[in-house]
Structure 1
Amino acid sequence: MTREPTADETTDADALTRRRALAAAGGVALAGLAGCTALDVATGEEPAEFTAGTATVADATLSETGYGLNEVTENTQTREFDVAGSTREVRVTSKIAEYDKAVELFGERYQAAVFAVLATPRVEVLGQAFNPVGELSDQERAQLIVDRYEGVSNLERSSEYTTEILGTDADVVVYSGNGEIEGTGVSVELEFHVAEAVEAGDDYVIPLAAYPTVFGDGENVRRMLNGIEHEPASEDN
């Protein structure tokens, strides 16, 4: 977590820090193609591109929960592999919408809680949907949001629940642990909410949330999950 920047203070380095863990998920999705022969990438000279739509949280939900949009970013991973003796390039673009809630400590405001929604494309392999992100374990998905904090330790699975995400009942696992608020040296107890992958048109959507336990933000996280909307990519992949 970082101190909430002003417009003048925001830098490219800050943006990279905010999304360092979540952006890696695009690479996870692409890595799953290694060794696969996909009918839709077996022919043609141009790169085969798969681009996700955008999953965001409804404005009405944001006003109820106190979260605000930080940014929506894209992460594109490229890989070349051999198909029938020819080299073909595949590009997979995931999109990440990140929301924050700030807290005041020592007279300054810091980004204390984060809610992120990852949308990654469904890649068709031999006519069947391939979902490498959905195949990650709960703990592997948790790591995508755990890495937003410093020195996280004692990570334990504490509970789970089911709630509606994009019209589907989805399982959400809650983890607890200890971590440090970056730049303050203050250690706090944290809660992490990790949802399973949900199908949304041609994409898979994975919501992730984290906040200091003292926030008691569990119900707000549930509202955020219920308020997720998905807009398909504007062009065919």
Structure 2
Amino acid sequence: MTPDEPTDTADENRSTDATTRRGALGLAGTVGLAGLAGCAALDVATGGPAEFSSGTATVADATLSEAGYELNDVSEETVGRESEVGGQTREVRVTNAVAEYDKAVELFGERYQAAVFAAVTTPQIEVLGRALNPIAEMGTCERAELILSRFENVESLERGSEYSTSVLDTDATVVVYTADAEIEGTGVTTELELHIVEPVGVDDDFVLPLAAYPAAFSDGENVRRMMNRIEHEPNDES
């Protein structure tokens, strides 16, 4: 699946579907260079930028329909950092992808996007034969904070149970958190349940599924179904 560039028409359509609906979570830049601080050993023989681009992980329309979620956005973001090696400076560029889906809740006669599911894809970065995984080096609490950027006034983040489920034909550990937060644009505080999956390696990428929803939704089975049916399309240029 090729990420679509957002258009004015698409934005207008979203506004008719729900009163408040944010764009992409903006996770791509957050995870993009988190693990590159140690890249001083990067081979700079060519002197040009070292570029790493991810593929895209998405959920099929049929699965979304079953779960009651809709596509919000599929976006890419490229971030860069310069590293000095042997007196030479070389830029490292990383392009990540985020597919974001959400589900609306009815409050005060208006619809608000209260539940969110995201699949973050970041490229495997190899330095002198060693793979670096920025999102794997983050703790589960840090990953939880990524999805919580979708909400306001977050408090009382607590780690709960764990379970295993299949993500891209891999048994992945999922950590469940709870937190109190406001649904954006409502001023209403609710208890959230978060499902934070360990990153899964596939092709030349790592895929990180994340989910958060009001606990009253009891949406765990829908979240698991979407995790189980994530599809990955590698970067054609990799």
Cα deviation digits, residues 187-222 of structure 1 (max 9, x gap):
111101100010011000000000001100000000
TM superposition shift of 1:20: 4.7
Unaligned runs of 5+ residues in structure 2 are: 1-10
Identical columns (%): 61
TM superposition shift of 1:114: 0.3
Q: Which residue of 2 aligns with 1:138?
A: 140
Checking the alignment, whether the CA contact within 8 Å between 2:82 and 2:91 is kept in structure 1 is: yes
> Among residues 13, 20, 25, which one is paired with 1:7 in the alignment?
13
Between the aligned partners of 1:46 and 1:194, the Cα distance in structure 2 is 37
Q: Which residue of 2 aligns with 1:36?
A: 39
TM superposition shift of 1:33: 1.8
| TM-score in terms of structure 1 length | 0.89
Q: Which residue of 1 aligns with 2:178?
A: 176
Q: Which residue of 2 aligns with 1:200?
A: 202
Q: Which runs of 4+ in 1 moved over 6 A?
A: none
TM superposition shift of 1:42: 1.7
Q: Which residue of 1 aligns with 2:122?
A: 120
Between the aligned partners of 2:231 and 2:45, the Cα distance in structure 1 is 34
Q: Which residue of 2 aligns with 1:86?
A: 88
TM superposition shift of 1:26: 3.3
Between the aligned partners of 1:74 and 1:21, the Cα distance in structure 2 is 9
Alignment of structure 1 residues 62-101 onto 2, 5 Å: 62-101=64-103
Checking the alignment, whether the CA contact within 8 Å between 2:124 and 2:205 is kept in structure 1 is: yes
Does residue 152 of the first structure (1) align with residue 154 of the second (2)?
yes
Between the aligned partners of 1:68 and 1:182, the Cα distance in structure 2 is 18
Unaligned runs of 5+ residues in structure 1 are: none
Between the aligned partners of 1:8 and 1:36, the Cα distance in structure 2 is 41
TM superposition shift of 1:6: 4.3
One-letter amino acid matched to 1:43: A
Aligned length: 225
Does residue 23 of the first structure (1) align with residue 28 of the second (2)?
yes
Between the aligned partners of 1:31 and 1:178, the Cα distance in structure 2 is 27
TM superposition shift of 1:60: 2.2
One-letter amino acid matched to 1:126: L
One-letter amino acid matched to 2:83: F
Between the aligned partners of 1:148 and 1:31, the Cα distance in structure 2 is 20
| TM-score in terms of structure 2 length | 0.88
Structure 1 vs Structure 2 CA RMSD: 1.9
Between the aligned partners of 1:8 and 1:56, the Cα distance in structure 2 is 19
TM superposition shift of 1:232: 0.2
Give secondary structure in 1 for the equivalent of 2:39.
coil
Between the aligned partners of 2:163 and 2:30, the Cα distance in structure 1 is 24
TM superposition shift of 1:50: 0.3
- Judging changes above 3 Å, is the alpha-carbon distance between structure 1 residues 8 and 94 closer, same or farther for their aligned structure 2 residues? closer
